Amino acid sequence: VNRHSLSLWLYRRLLGLYPEEFRVRFGSHLESDFLELLARQGPRAAWRRVVGDLANSVRLTHQYAHSERRRVYAMSLGGERPMGSVLFDLRHAVRSLWKAPVFTAVTVLTLALGIGANAAIFSLVNAALLRPMGYESPDRLMMIHEAIPESKVPRFGVSPADYLDLVQYQRSFTGIGVYRSRAMELSGTGEPEQVDVAQMSASVLPILGVNAADGRTFAPDEDQAEASVVAISHAFAERRFAGRSAVGERLILDRRPYTIVGVMPASFEFPKRGAEFNAIPADVYMPLVFNPFEREARGMFYNHSVVGRLREGMTATQAALDTSALAARVTENYPAGLRQMGFTLQIAATPFVDEIAGQVRRPLLILLGAVGLVLLVACANVANLIVSRSVTRQREIGVRVALGAANHRLFQLLLLESLLLAFAGGAAGLVLSQWAVRAMPAVIASSLPAVTGVGLDLRVVGFTFGLSLATAVVFGLVPLASGLRRNVGDTLREGARTTGGRMQHRMQKGLVVSSVAFAFVLLVAAGLLIRSFANLMAIDAGVRGTNVLSMEVTLPLAGYNQASRVRSFYQTVQERLGREAGVRAAVVTSDLPVRGDGERRVFTPSGYDPSAPIASSVAVTWVYGDYFSTFGVSMVRGRSFTADELQTDRKVAIVSRVLADRYWPGEDPIGKQIKWGGPSSTAPWQTVIGVAGDVVDGPLGDEPVIHIYVPYAEVADEALAAPVAGFLRRMTIAVAGNVDETRLASPMRAAVAAFDPSLALAGVTTLREVLREATAPQRFSAMALGAFAGGALALAGIGLYGVLAFGVSQRTREIGVRLALGAGRGEVIGLVVRQGLVLTTIGLVVGALGAVAAVRVLGALLFETAVYDPFTFAIVPALLGVVSLAACYVPARRASRIDPTVALRSE
């Protein structure tokens, strides 16, 4: 063997020419055969035998090895059958995503947040603005209001007498109808309960273009004289008469029998939420019959809503002009005494749809825009993540190409991965949005118009899914584009990553800049709304709301047609509650503070100067008990009502501070007098005995409304017992406790039940809740935008972190060289941080420009906050800067800890 060792050595070297697989498999065979050749035939013959053979077989085995690799690769990818390969690639995609759990989780979560938030907000928008009203061509419907500019109250409803004039005078509408909301006691079976009733002229349902689903609606003469017929909502029919037809059944409302003549369709909801008055969806509809007094009374009962349908060919603008022109003719019918007060009656017609959705359209659209920005940031981040990952995958893709992977298979694989991500993100987003919609406080839903239930809409889901899909797909294929463009050798060569990386790095930087910019805009918007909300919350509503519980009761005419019975009710209940342990103060009153839904009246103050413009309307609250202690309203001057004044009509009143300041400036209001109606009114003068602090009546932030408080004793017996004054028999019982408000409910129920067990209690609420409701829309906007902005901030931070960390990992070698050449750790940290701050700064500049342009739409939503609030515009970049620095920190530290020797070897 020794003499052949040179030959063997040489032959072994030559075997290196064969493909590796072949060498591993047959190398030893070849050697032993060669040795045998040498031994038997000598070196010369042996070499002659193998040299030509080598030349031939090396080529053939390489060819074979290559074709074999292709075949094995194709087989390993599930063969070339289309479905087999898809299933295979799907498995592969799942596996490769599974192997990158952080990437997968962050991507899916980001998509989920973007999709979830969008779907939730769009569901709201859809419910409030897009869902059909359930009326025939609602865009042809208009609402009519009256207004008296001097009253400082923007507008009222329409009074019955004025409505009857309009019916005669108007020519713009095919017809107009009148309605009002009220609560009635439903009894007869089980516990008495309170139902929401819409009383309406017979013309309302034809104007809305809605017919009964079962039975009929009202005949034209049924609103002329009491007909005792009602129609009911579909939901109410289901609840009360499950399964059987309700038509022909009887309902006991306010202890009087009514016959059900019709059941409305399931899609019918009326009145809609969102209008200023009479906006409680009713379960029972009944004809509205005006009594003779209502038909004649001018200057009061401005609490009716009027709806009309435009005549064919009539535009909304023309109808509005025509309607306002009718004001003069209606005013002529007012008694001379009222007309002399120098007020201007205005009548305005506005589109019904705006009336319902108008107040919330802007905030909702702003939220929609904001959530759209969040989705953009989320998409930018997903793109960023995928691009980052793609660089590390370039090698893998290069190998696949080298091994003979067909382009369409690579495409398929990457596409499937992206689709998986998008679907996982979308599904998680759906879950999130469903959760968000459910978690949405009920008060939000009920403060939105036309919203009965906010549900997820398929169009929403489809849209957001589509967008996320597009993002994932477009950016998912980026690595393919750059992987295929370069040739295989390039990709496989060790140093090749930088060229492709640079292009993608640039794209990533762009994405980070836009994330920062979007986050800037969102943060500014959120900051402004939050500041505005804080300003709003800082307003003194004029009440102290701890441990105050209230509930409503409506005394039905049937049991309470004697004033003495009504008076006995409020006196007995209030006095009993006042004696309860744990009760600090108790009151029975006509309305709650802050809600601003009470009665408004024309009044005349003493010393009235006919030449001065005069507030002809004032909010009136009737009380029995200590209203001011119960609700924590301060007494600025004078005193509260005495027990005697509460029980017997002593012609006394308490006025609000703005009233006193406006009508008796610089004078002592105590002892001044007021009377209901105009200067010529024959109503008795009432003496002011106290001045109460101003209470915000209506939306927080509005000017305080002038207010007069009088004892129930002031109401004439006839008025209290008359069917017309139904609003006076809707009473609110309120108790302020020394104990927790939840413990006040049962004594209150017991006090009412002790007087009349069949009375229905409703509207149980706390004063705190009333205050919360007053700011609910602003709270919701501020919270939602705050959440969106927070999300965008986090996403922008993560995006920046991702880009910097990626940059550091790409530049490991360069940093290693710098460190080896003596650069300090500090310099390296500075290098990374500088890069991060440059990106942030560009983003900030772009974002600031965007914010300046975008916040203008917020103007109308802000309370005592400038659109270009310097504080907000200063703090947002600072916040983003801090987050950016935090995002820079980890990559920078990693860079500074690079070990030069390892970094240089790592290549």
Partner 1 sequence: MSPSVPSLGQPPLTPAVFHILLALADGPLHGYAIMQAVEASTGVDGRMGPGTIYGSLQRMEDAGLVREIETDEGRRRVFALLPAGRRALVLESRRLARLATMVRAKRLVPKESPG
Separation between Cα atoms, residue 589 and residue 50, nearest integer Å: 116
Beta strands in 530-617 (DSSP E): 548-554, 583-589, 599-601, 603-605
**Total length of the chain:** 907
Query: Would you say 36 or 827 has its CB closer to partner 1?
Result: 36
Separation between Cα atoms, residue 779 and residue 533, nearest integer Å: 7
What torsion do the CA atoms of 875, 877, 880, 881 make, to the nearest 10 degrees?
Answer: -110
Query: Would you say 24 or 365 has its CB closer to partner 1?
Result: 24
Torsion angles phi and psi, residue 620, rounded to 5: -120, 135
- Amino acid present at 4: H
Which of 186, 319, 204, 214 is closest to 272 using CA atoms? 204
Least distance CB 83 / partner 1 (angstroms): 23
Query: Would you say 51 or 882 has its CB closer to partner 1?
Result: 51
H or E element at residue 188: none
Least distance CB 36 / partner 1 (angstroms): 5
Least distance CB 32 / partner 1 (angstroms): 7
Beta strands in 327-420 (DSSP E): 346-351
Query: Would you say 57 or 572 has its CB closer to partner 1?
Result: 57
Query: Would you say 58 or 492 has its CB closer to partner 1?
Result: 58
Query: Would you say 25 or 506 has its CB closer to partner 1?
Result: 25
- Amino acid present at 277: F
Torsion angles phi and psi, residue 618, rounded to 5: -140, 145
Separation between Cα atoms, residue 287 and residue 224, nearest integer Å: 9
Query: Would you say 80 or 644 has its CB closer to partner 1?
Result: 80
* Spatial contact of 665 and 679, defined as CB atoms under 8 Å apart: no
Query: Would you say 73 or 608 has its CB closer to partner 1?
Result: 73
Query: Would you say 13 or 29 has its CB closer to partner 1?
Result: 29
Least distance CB 406 / partner 1 (angstroms): 21
Least distance CB 14 / partner 1 (angstroms): 9
Place of tokens 């590796």: 20
Query: Would you say 68 or 238 has its CB closer to partner 1?
Result: 68
Query: Would you say 34 or 475 has its CB closer to partner 1?
Result: 34
Using DSSP, state whether 545 is helix, strand or coil: coil
Which of 700, 789, 846, 698 is closest to 366 using CA atoms? 789
Binding site for partner 1 (CB under 8 A): 18, 22, 25-26, 29-30, 32-34, 36-37, 49-50, 52-54, 56-58, 60-61, 64, 68
Least distance CB 401 / partner 1 (angstroms): 24
Which of 86, 106, 4, 5 is closest to 45 using CA atoms? 4
Query: Would you say 22 or 570 has its CB closer to partner 1?
Result: 22
Least distance CB 53 / partner 1 (angstroms): 2
- Both tokens assigned to 190: 């089980």
Chain centre to alpha carbon of residue 781: 7
Query: Would you say 48 or 506 has its CB closer to partner 1?
Result: 48
What torsion do the CA atoms of 736, 741, 743, 748 make, to the nearest 10 degrees?
Answer: 50
Least distance CB 425 / partner 1 (angstroms): 44
* Spatial contact of 85 and 415, defined as CB atoms under 8 Å apart: no
Burial tier of 336 (Cβ tally within 10 Å: 0-12, 13-18, 19+) = exposed
What Å distances lie between residue 480 and 97, 384, 802, CA to CA? Answer: 17, 15, 21
Separation between Cα atoms, residue 652 and residue 11, nearest integer Å: 125
Task: Please enumerate, as own/partner, the contacts of 477-481 that have beta carbons within 8 Å and a separation of 24 or more.
Answer: 477/411, 477/414, 477/415, 477/418, 478/386, 478/387, 478/390, 478/504, 478/507, 479/386, 479/387, 479/389, 479/390, 479/391, 479/393, 479/394, 479/397, 479/414, 480/397, 480/410, 480/411, 480/414
Using DSSP, state whether 276 is helix, strand or coil: coil
Least distance CB 482 / partner 1 (angstroms): 36
Strand partners, 550: 734, 765
Query: Would you say 35 or 762 has its CB closer to partner 1?
Result: 35
Query: Would you say 75 or 886 has its CB closer to partner 1?
Result: 75
Residue 16: CA count within 13 A, CB half-sphere:
6
Least distance CB 66 / partner 1 (angstroms): 13
Least distance CB 2 / partner 1 (angstroms): 21
H or E element at residue 207: helix 204-208
Helical ranges in 448-496 per DSSP H: 458-476, 478-485, 488-492
Query: Would you say 29 or 244 has its CB closer to partner 1?
Result: 29
Query: Would you say 50 or 659 has its CB closer to partner 1?
Result: 50
Residues in Cβ contact with 150 at an 8 Å cutoff, skipping those fewer than 6 apart: 342, 343, 344, 613, 614, 615, 616
- Both tokens assigned to 484: 């295929």
Place of tokens 């202890």: 255
Least distance CB 61 / partner 1 (angstroms): 5
Strand partners, 118: none
Least distance CB 28 / partner 1 (angstroms): 9
